[in-house]
Chains A and B, each alone.
Chain A
Amino acid sequence: MSGNALVRILDGNTFVVSNDTGDIDASPSVPTGFFSFDTRFLSKWQLKVNGESLNALSVDDLQYFETRFFLVPGAPTHYVDAKVSVIRQRSIGSSFDEQLTVLNHADKAMDVTIRIDMGCDFADLFEIKDVQQKKGQPYVRVEDGVLRLGYERETFRRETVVSATEPADIDAQGFTFTAHIDPQQSWTTNLHVQTVILGAGGRDLRSNLQGRHGRAKVQMQEELNKWLDQAPRLETDNQALATTYRRSMVDLAALRYTPLSYGGQSVPAAGLPWFMTIFGRDSLFTSLQTLPFVPDLAATTLRLLGVLQGSKLDDFRDEEPGKILHELRYGETAAFEEQPHSPYYGSADSTPLFVIVLDEYERWTGDSTLVQQLEPEARRALEWIDEYGDLMGNGYLWYQRRNEKVGLENQCWKDSWDSISYRDGRLPNFPRATCELQGYAYDAKVRGARLAREFWNDPVLADRLEREAADLKERFNRDFWIEDGQYYALALDTDGSLVDSLSSNIGHLLWSGIVTQDRARSVAQHLLSGRLFSGWGVRTFAEGETRYNPIGYHVGTVWPWDNSFIAWGLRKYGFKAEAGCIAEGMIDAGEFFGGRLPEAFGGYDRGLTKYPVQYPTACSPQAWSTGTPLLLLRTMLGLEPHGEHLIVEPALPVGIGKIGLLDIPGRWGRVDAFGRERVELDRRSPLRELHGGGARPIT
């Protein structure tokens, strides 16, 4: 127990990451600390009892917002002689609260010195990997029973205010308590850590805007119970699936956060620890995954993104009228425009996805009011695709950053610098038109046409969008198809040449519907081929491509969320066995992570490693990984809204057993769906045995 393991509690964009004794001692490489609104409010929080550090006996995760540590002083060999033990129970919500209890196990009274070292660097989340000289001034004030740690840069001010219920000697580096504890008795204090973001009238910015900041623990517990009660109930004899479902619903609750500009309602934040804020793309994909389960998330996400829709040209933010944002941040680097996240709009897919989610949301819920309310935003999003997304003026959706300094080079979901390359490893010039963007644009036009016809009373727009969609599909199938490989290119370059690598991006074309029927089988075969399918899931990039790397962020790893959409697309084109194969691989992989699928894991062949190798700096929990089991359930049960009804057409892979999903909410009220594994999938069984178990490629 060296304290290397990280323990996390979170509530939206407020979270604590500590070692397994509850201590925080931040270093550049490890993002430990107490964070809120993209700022670290504690970088040091270290407990000593009689001068000794503590060791962990056990850690109990009570709730996503609450943890309990059982500790003893001294080195591990002293355990048996421990006369003192410590219980550290902490929670977060509106503040960070820690109840510290010291127990005397001896038969005589003892005097104990309890020391907590405290400190804060007020690092912006963007500075943590690359710590720079802070431009402002830190300050520390010891006040009456309070330690106030602060940071000031011009009018920008952040403070951490620490207090305790027991008397303490307070100095600039922490609190010292002296306790006299009778035999077999205990001593307790409650430490309270409040964060302040200075706003109007010297009061907290968040309180000024929301009338309150954060929620109390009791309220959080009530809300979690209500959240779980309202979600559909899963009945299955498959333990892995049951575990991952429960885990997902709790993590989704934890990841909800309430942005300042949105009157108290919550949206999914992207992922811990780096992405605890709203991302257009992540929030929209998570909304799609979770629609059959918690449709309100989609509604709040659409409303928030609608309010923040781009309205002007701004090169620094890569903003254009009608564009849906990429990322919104509240930290120092956003405040001083060292980073463009106020908000940043560098994403080419969030805008068509906005229209897609709005349509899909209505199909499930029948909430036409929202479709009416967001009509102006949805229209502007559709206009953006043609006016600002079509950079080359040839009817495709392209991206190229205008913020050359800190803007994103790749503005598709694979947003690392090397994700888009030719087979030979060369990187194409800009702008770039990746294939999945064309799929989203096509789908947005098809769905926008339905909204225009049925809700906006605009048949002229509907006709035009349908014509444009049909034309886009035809051109796309001509311009992106690689004849000798029989798959769609990853992208087009500015010469109209094919960026010819084989990638998971082609999987997204299926759920978008841009693939012609005669080519669907070939796409499905590629996705489940040994080059792309690892045995757990589809790799982001095919084995054999020059830049393939099984632990390369977007060039070989397996991303659960990516796979959930690929499975959904396969299912839409009738490839039930292939969709089931992916679902099964993901559910199996989830077992290795306690039901919590990480952001990504290695693309190593399943037969080689036997377990999924976690990507080194993967975020967990991460919203769209959390949503993955939910979309897989929809896919396996074949749930599809049709008019006022929900169609259920189950196709479960072998080994899944029975699935019952009860009380699925929607325009039909609540309905149940049942499925059991089907005989027709048995033909994959010999393959499973051949490869030593687990889902295998269809060859």
Chain B
Amino acid sequence: MASPTTELFTGIGRRGHEALLEKVQGSLRFDLEHDQQVDHWHLAISKGDVAVTQEERPADCVVRAEQALFDKMAAGETNTFASMLRNRLTVEGNLRLLVLFERLLPGPPSARHPRPATRGRWRHER
């Protein structure tokens, strides 16, 4: 079974277009460390079109992390910004692109819609 990271990036590559990045221009590279090696994922974004390759090409924003941490991010189990503040994930270049990319990551699996169970019980009897 493919890792959450691989699934995330191949999914993005397959879709080829992201509505949430409609007005975004720029490139990101993720350098993910595991077993004494580094995997690269390169994303070139142009008005929502996203091209994914596994090449070590220059990028406007370069992100480095352990593969295991990124797997958690890709599964919505850890937060990108907090990871950066903890220095578990490092960023060089344009952080804005990472914040925009983060829109494509899922939220925590346990998260729920804010509507309370009481929704719909509201009376209007005045």
Contacts and interface: CB of A to CB of B under 8 A. Distances in A.
Interface stretch (A83-91, A99-107, A258-266, A528-536): A258-266
A214 B15 CA distance: 40
Contacts of A406: none
A199 B87 contact: yes
A232 interface: no
Contacts of B115: 391-393
Contacts of B118: 392, 431, 494
A311 B103 contact: yes
Interface residues of B, number: 47
Contacts of A331: 85
A contact patch SS: loop
B28 to A, nearest CB: 14
Contact of A376 (B22, B62, B64, B125): B22
Given A307-B99, A496-B126, A156 B85 contact: yes
Interface of B: 19-20, 22-23, 62, 64, 76, 79, 81-82, 84-88, 90-96, 98-100, 102-103, 105-108, 110-116, 118-126
A376 B116 CA distance: 28
A312 B87 contact: no
Across the A-B interface, give the 4 residue pairs with the lowest CB-CB distance, nearest first. A312-B107, A200-B90, A335-B85, A313-B111
Q: Which of B22, B62, B85, B122 has the most CB of A within 10 A?
A: B85
A45 interface: no
A391 B95 CA distance: 33
Nearest to A200: B90
Contact of B95 (A261, A318, A494): A261
B94 A263 contact: yes
Contact of B99 (A308, A312, A313, A320): A308
Nearest to A37: B85
A200 B86 contact: no
Given A209-B92, A261-B95, A313 B113 contact: yes
B46 to A, nearest CB: 15
Contacts, number: 136
Nearest to A330: B85
Interface in A455-500: 479, 494-498
A130 interface: no
Interface stretch (A336-344, A414-422, A519-527, A614-622): A336-344
24 contacts: A157-B87, A200-B62, A208-B90, A209-B92, A262-B96, A307-B96, A307-B100, A312-B76, A312-B105, A313-B113, A313-B114, A320-B114, A330-B85, A337-B79, A388-B113, A391-B115, A391-B119, A392-B118, A400-B114, A494-B118, A494-B122, A495-B122, A496-B122, A496-B124
Contacts of B96: 261-263, 307
Given A312-B105, A337-B79, A342-B85, 6 more contacts: A205-B87, A208-B93, A209-B91, A209-B92, A331-B85, A391-B119
Contacts of A154: 86, 88
Contact of A431 (B110, B113, B116): B116
A475 to B, nearest CB: 9
Contact of A335 (B86, B92, B108): B86
Given A200-B64, A209-B95, A343-B81, A392 B87 contact: no
A314 B116 CA distance: 15
Nearest to A259: B95
A479 B121 contact: no
Interface in A316-337: 316-320, 330-331, 334-337
Contacts of B98: 261
